[in-house]
Amino acid sequence: MAHSLSDYSIMNTVYLKQNSALHYIHIVCIPLFLFCGHHILIAQNAHSVHSNDTLSISGASQIPSVDGIENDICWNSVQWQPIDQAWIPYGDTVKSSDFSGKYKIVWSPKTNLLYFIVKITDDVFVDGYRYDSDPKKGDFYYNFDLLEVFIDEDHSGGLHVFDSDGMLKKEWGSKSANAFSYHVILDAPKEGTTAYQFTACDLGGKNWDDYFIANYADHFSDFSLRRNGNEYVWEFSIKVYNDRYDPLKKEKSRVFLKPGKIMGISLAYCDNDDKNEMPKERDNFFGSVWVPKESNNDHWKNADGYRVVLLK
Ligand SMILES: [Ca+2]
Ligand SMILES: [Ca+2]
Ligand SMILES: [Ca+2]
Ligand SMILES: [Ca+2]
């Protein structure tokens, strides 16, 4: 469950712009560690990453074994990046046992893939989502526990909901493939085991009168989710497509990854902790970049706030 820390001291993060460069020093005031019974409360938003704090992604000389185990050589030399921004409710803070998340990314020139490892701690895993391309028949996926991966291949930013015409372009975009927002969802594996089957949901179609839920699971070359208690390790690889993506001719829009390439990539986690509620509603939505309050839930429709990444 989400617990606000409003009763406690409030953490202030101050950004000091350094020179004209895109660097920010984070001065975190007031306590990060608050003791309550046996729990250590750790405030979220402690490692604020701005969308223009460039993340350099190294090329891996040895690709990882995609098995939900973090013992691959390529992960050793890469630093964890935080998923610590409470987008919903905006600025919320929860116990680290309720939610904490971090990720690493590498890429491979050999396989032309991006590789991710994401470590999530979550006290209650709410699963049971069943995919149906007809949005009227299914539950909304974002009210279950799921990992979101947002990729804007050319860092263009902008709307990416539908392939809209006319006036609707201004509100929902003219190319849904301008950016992909993969909502990666599956049932929790049993303790100590790994799951490999999943759905990667995203919106498709022309407008809200005529839309569907796409399943982009085949954009993932490999996928695994391993459970160790309340810790979940998501390890997977992704093929990158440009905005001319056509589901019938996918390979034509496959992007060739190379050093110096700039993209927009963010991650987020929908956290629901109530298995029994009907209808389901997520408690929290945590993201990997700071977003302004007025666009706290924009990543799914607009790529403007994705984090800049640079392939090295
Ligand atoms: Ca591995
Ligand atoms: Ca939780
Ligand atoms: Ca784009
Ligand atoms: Ca949960």
Indicate whether 289 belongs to any domain: yes
**6 in a domain, yes or no?**
no
More confident residue, 210 or 24: 210
26 assigned to some structural domain: no
| Token pair in block for residue 160 | 């990416």
**pLDDT confidence bin for 118, thresholds 50/70/90:** very high
Mean pLDDT of 11-17: 31
Residue 164 CA to ligand 3 center (angstroms) comes to 15
**What pTM, to 2 d.p., does this model score?**
0.87
Whether 157 is in a domain gets the answer yes
Torsion angle in degrees (nearest 10) through CA of 276, 282, 288, 294: -170
Report how far ligand 1's centroid is from the alpha carbon of 66 (Å). Answer: 5
For residues 136 and 114, the model is more confident at 114
Q: Is residue 278 part of a domain?
A: yes
Reported confidence tier of residue 10, pLDDT bands at 50, 70, 90: very low
Can you spell out the DSSP letters for 15-41? EEE-TTSS-EEEEEES-SEEEETTEEE
Going from the Cα of 186 to the center of ligand 2, the distance in angstroms, rounded, reads 16
pLDDT at position 48, please? 80
Whether cis (ω within 30° of 0) applies to the bond prior to 89 is yes
Q: Could you list the residue range(s) of the whole structural domain that residue 108 is in?
A: 51-311
* Cα 123 to ligand 2 centre (Å): 5
Q: Check pLDDT > 60 for residue 1.
A: no
CATH number at residue 144: 2.60.40.1190
